[in-house]
Structure 1
Amino acid sequence: MRSICFAFWLLLNFRSFVITKAEQPANLGSNCENTTQQTLSSAYQTNLDRILTWIPSDAATSIGYNHTTIGTNSSVYGLYDCGGDLAGFFCQFCVSTAVREAPQLCSNRVSAVVWNDYCVIRYSNEDFFGKALTYPTWHTVGTKNISNTTEIQIGEAFVRSLIRKSTNETNQLYYKEGFNLSATESRYAVVQCTRDLTNEGCRQCLEVMLTEVPKCCEQHIPWTVWSGSCLIRYDDHMFYLLNTQQPSAPAPNAQDKQEGNKRSKTLIITFSVIGPIIVLCLSLYCFWHRKRLIKGLPLPSFRKIQSEEMWNTDLPRIPLITILQSTDNFSEASKLGEGGFGPVYKGTLRDGKQIAVKRLSKFSGQGSEEFNNEVMFIAKLRHRNLVRLLACCLEENEKILVYEYLPNKSLDFHLFDVDRRKQFDWKLRLSIINGIARDFGLARAFEVGQNQANTKRVMGTLGYMAPEYAMEGLFSVKSDVFSFGVLVLEIICGRKNGGFYLSDGQTLISYAWRMWYEGKCLELMDPMLEKSFIEDGVERCIQIGLLCVQEDARDRPTMSDVVVMQASDTLAIPKPKHSAFSVGRTAAEEVTTSRSFKNDITSSITLPR
């Protein structure tokens, strides 16, 4: 449906663009080759009036170009050229505007050049046919500045390619084309010579115009550089017409002209009457379709709905183009990290607000179900310690979540850095542990009375998953308890479980259990805590952490039990049984990527406040 609506949007724009623009073409530049005003002789003025009458009259039935000479004494040489965009009826509109402007802009002058959007007229008292006029040159520039040298070089190379194309055997000394500079920006250019020139003469003229660009225009957009014989125009908006006329037949005789003119008028009248009716009907249908889509009403059967639940959420939608602009088209420089869902990028909206953009990777193994689960669950949560989900995007087969951006980054960024973790004394670390304990357990929403379940796909962070979940896909509230226990041990020792190496192959969990069993808990503690730690508090937290990482999920406490144990210094704490093994690495193992497990265990970034 989108393609149908877009096609008729183009039809609507094409019709209005051709007729409106042709009727009122914008003036690019009007220049008088001879800057000296003089009183024109009556013979020259008569011949000039005749040639200005001939130009629009001849253009009505021509191929878009012609030249002529009027008068034997005080001769006037004149031409018009509508490039490759206009011919016949529409070319006449364009040159008529230029003809009206020329005497006003170059009054009492024997020569003039007027360039409009789609045509040029030129007249002079000297025979200029076949001669490339490269001096003087004129230019106009826009207000938008360009400082990117790479973009400037790309633009120059693009224009050079158009010059080559315009002067080959098949083109009429005219060529237009556009290219995508990025996913959000495009550039368009036209190169044109008057068709009295040879291919070589046109190429030389355009090359001279291109050498003028660095002097005046390359750091601006749009820009136009021209002389009496050629023009180069460069813009970030499509300014040329899409209907390229390339007639190649010789000029018809008078009878053919008359018949062709009748056919042209018939086609114009037919299109003018029927065209608006068709466009109106389809525009109304597109409007109706879009309105139902926005309201979440049933759509036509040929459109695939991503998810009924997704359409019924109150989560705001953000256009894909806005996301592309904010992340510089998902550039590597904007990338914050990558997890099981896909990459996460930092973006900056036009109002300066910073966002974190989570983009579902096509190779993540996750689909609409996982995407919807995250949206439906996270969108309902509001907590000071949870990153907020701001919006989502479902366009062009993309599944994107937009979160608030946290400039202070995550806990691991500070805790596992030798210099930054110096600010984390024992009091602060204990406060973090207690805060996590109160907020933990939001990884999965269970139905009422559900204690354990199976998941089809194991997704999680390497080193934090309970063994029954990682190996068998069994999850429960005790699975989160295991992850909490790993965090407690990491906070106390200041090292990552996933990066814990020992020559005898022990992981952080097994090493912590051995230190506790041998009564050497303080050897596990981060040396930076020596001046601030409380011995009983450290040993108590290590014991709670070990209770949480026991191998049998039934032996682990609930998070509410953990909070109670943390809050009371007098409550007796059970002794932990032997801890579970942990998915880790030994010094002898080769470091592999996170996708080496059959269960699709993946590494993911954490985004706490």
Structure 2
Amino acid sequence: MNNLFFLLLLLAASIASPTAADGSANAYIYAGCSESRYAPGSPSQINVDSLLSSLVSASSSTPYSNLTSTAASASFPSFGLFQCRGDLQPSNCADCVRSAVSSISSLCPFAAGAAVQLDGCFLRYGNDSFVGEPDTSVLYKKCGAAGGGGYGTDQIGIRDAALSALTGGGGNGGAGGYRVGAAGYVQAVAQCVGDQSASECDDCVAAAVGQVRAACGYAVSGDAYLGKCYARFWYTGNGAYNDDADHHHDDPDHHHDDDGKLFSQLSGGGRTIDSHRFRISNFIISLFSF
């Protein structure tokens, strides 16, 4: 099968700390669409539509599900899954998955494969059976502003302690391997997609934590989203940091990835990446292959 090129979209810049009550569960983080398309009214479209509808229905009763649709034809199966954040209530999970499906429909019309990450849930579908496959490729990294008030090795140690609580089976477990960590005035969370085994989840979270540590050394927050997991940390503002520098107060017009490359603001309020300046090869190769 040939690897194709895909459009990676970065949307809605402000990502609040992950709590179910803060209203941020439907905030956009990224979306990816395959260049391969199916024809309107084709068996593939019927299978995809049936799959997405079934995933929405399942989200009202479970935080994770993977399904296969052959509603129109077994020759054109559609595979898909969703994973909600482990601290979401069922109603919030269902609302997030509905929002993810709506986003995919508008961002990736007739795409043979697509994925969207919202703050509270992840949804992906495709015509290849990716369910159960480990994937530690980096899809998206983001660091907050540098800390104010005097950054020292003690702050690095506190951050690393919070992140360390996420690795090696740390945290409190939960839906999809949801893990939380805290040290001093630093909080951290991580989660795997529910199709990963315990050891695969450990490996993925360790890789995500490594990405955050390497990319966001002096930042007051950091996020790393890999193919089948993510890890995030943020300072609560109770330490030696300027609270205004925290990523909950990001400049809505400018964001930089780990290499300082500028994301461009779209006229419609979304974000996209200049594909000539952002390395999306891992995303292209690992997320969708047809």
TM-score (norm 2): 0.65
Query: Is 1:126 aligned to 2:128, yes or no?
Result: yes
Aligned twin of 2:194 = 195
**Helix, strand or coil: the match of 1:92?**
helix
Aligned twin of 1:29 = 30
Question: Over residues 333-367 of structure 1, what are the superposed CA-to-partner deviations in whole Å (9 max), with x where a residue is unaligned?
Answer: xxxxxxxxxxxxxxxxxxxxxxxxxxxxxxxxxxx
Greater Rg over alpha carbons, structure? 1
Aligned twin of 1:39 = 37
Tell me the distance in 2 between the aligned counterparts of 1:213 and 1:19. Answer: 25
Aligned twin of 2:53 = 53
Tell me the distance in 2 between the aligned counterparts of 1:107 and 1:136. Answer: 25
Going from structure 1 to structure 2, the CA distance change for 1:223 and 1:70 (only over 3 Å counts) comes to same
What is the aligned-residue RMSD (CA, Å)? 3.0
Instruction: Give the deviation of 1:204 after TM superposition.
Output: 1.2
Aligned twin of 1:463 = none
5 Å matches for 1:283-298? none
2:111 maps to which of 94, 109, 112: 109
Tell me the distance in 2 between the aligned counterparts of 1:105 and 1:158. Answer: 36
Instruction: Give the deviation of 1:163 after TM superposition.
Output: 2.2
Tell me the distance in 1 between the aligned counterparts of 2:224 and 2:51. Answer: 26
**Hey, which bits of structure 1, 4+ residues long, moved more than 6 A?**
167-171
**Helix, strand or coil: the match of 1:68?**
strand
Tell me the distance in 1 between the aligned counterparts of 2:59 and 2:122. Answer: 12
Going from structure 1 to structure 2, the CA distance change for 1:167 and 1:154 (only over 3 Å counts) comes to closer
Aligned twin of 1:227 = 226
Contact 1:167 1:202 in 2 (8 A): no
The code of the aligned residue for 1:203 comes to: D
5 Å matches for 1:210-225? 210-225=209-224
Tell me the distance in 2 between the aligned counterparts of 1:76 and 1:93. Answer: 22
**Helix, strand or coil: the match of 1:163?**
coil
Instruction: Give the deviation of 1:236 after TM superposition.
Output: 1.8
Contact 2:64 2:175 in 1 (8 A): no
Going from structure 1 to structure 2, the CA distance change for 1:121 and 1:150 (only over 3 Å counts) comes to same
Instruction: Give the deviation of 1:30 after TM superposition.
Output: 2.2
Tell me the distance in 2 between the aligned counterparts of 1:20 and 1:235. Answer: 15
Aligned twin of 1:82 = 84
Instruction: Give the deviation of 1:229 after TM superposition.
Output: 0.8
Tell me the distance in 1 between the aligned counterparts of 2:46 and 2:97. Answer: 20
Instruction: Give the deviation of 1:25 after TM superposition.
Output: 2.2
1:178 maps to which of 182, 203, 215: 182
**Helix, strand or coil: the match of 1:220?**
coil
5 Å matches for 1:366-385? none
1:95 maps to which of 94, 97, 114: 97
Tell me the distance in 2 between the aligned counterparts of 1:122 and 1:45. Answer: 15
Instruction: Give the deviation of 1:92 after TM superposition.
Output: 0.6
Tell me the distance in 2 between the aligned counterparts of 1:216 and 1:325. Answer: 21
Contact 1:140 1:223 in 2 (8 A): yes
Instruction: Give the deviation of 1:20 after TM superposition.
Output: 6.1
Query: Is 1:155 aligned to 2:156, yes or no?
Result: no
Question: Over residues 266-292 of structure 1, what are the superposed CA-to-partner deviations in whole Å (9 max), with x where a residue is unaligned?
Answer: xxxxxxxxxxxxxxxxxxxxxxxxxxx
Instruction: Give the deviation of 1:148 after TM superposition.
Output: 3.0
Structure 1, unmatched stretches of 5+, are 1-16, 181-185, 239-320, 327-609
**Helix, strand or coil: the match of 2:133?**
coil
Instruction: Give the deviation of 1:233 after TM superposition.
Output: 1.2
Contact 1:166 1:174 in 2 (8 A): no
The code of the aligned residue for 1:159 comes to: L
Contact 2:37 2:112 in 1 (8 A): no
The code of the aligned residue for 2:183 comes to: F
Instruction: Give the deviation of 1:170 after TM superposition.
Output: 6.9
Aligned twin of 2:252 = none
Instruction: Give the deviation of 1:221 after TM superposition.
Output: 2.6
Question: Over residues 391-416 of structure 1, what are the superposed CA-to-partner deviations in whole Å (9 max), with x where a residue is unaligned?
Answer: xxxxxxxxxxxxxxxxxxxxxxxxxx
Contact 2:166 2:181 in 1 (8 A): yes
Tell me the distance in 2 between the aligned counterparts of 1:68 and 1:148. Answer: 48
Contact 2:81 2:125 in 1 (8 A): yes
Tell me the distance in 1 between the aligned counterparts of 2:125 and 2:157. Answer: 36
Aligned twin of 1:242 = none
Tell me the distance in 1 between the aligned counterparts of 2:217 and 2:162. Answer: 13
Contact 2:79 2:128 in 1 (8 A): yes
The code of the aligned residue for 2:210 comes to: T
Q: Please state which structure has a larger fraction of its residues in helix.
A: 1
Q: Please state which structure has a larger fraction of its residues in strand.
A: 2
**Helix, strand or coil: the match of 2:220?**
strand
Tell me the distance in 2 between the aligned counterparts of 1:86 and 1:157. Answer: 25
Tell me the distance in 1 between the aligned counterparts of 2:155 and 2:51. Answer: 44
**Helix, strand or coil: the match of 1:86?**
coil
Instruction: Give the deviation of 1:136 after TM superposition.
Output: 4.1
Tell me the distance in 2 between the aligned counterparts of 1:171 and 1:53. Answer: 22
The code of the aligned residue for 2:98 comes to: S
Tell me the distance in 2 between the aligned counterparts of 1:153 and 1:26. Answer: 30
**Helix, strand or coil: the match of 1:162?**
coil
The code of the aligned residue for 2:58 comes to: D
Tell me the distance in 2 between the aligned counterparts of 1:120 and 1:162. Answer: 19
Aligned twin of 1:73 = 75
The code of the aligned residue for 1:43 comes to: P
Tell me the distance in 1 between the aligned counterparts of 2:220 and 2:240. Answer: 19
Instruction: Give the deviation of 1:124 after TM superposition.
Output: 1.9
The code of the aligned residue for 2:47 comes to: N
Going from structure 1 to structure 2, the CA distance change for 1:217 and 1:208 (only over 3 Å counts) comes to same
The code of the aligned residue for 2:186 comes to: R
Tell me the distance in 2 between the aligned counterparts of 1:153 and 1:160. Answer: 10
The code of the aligned residue for 2:66 comes to: H
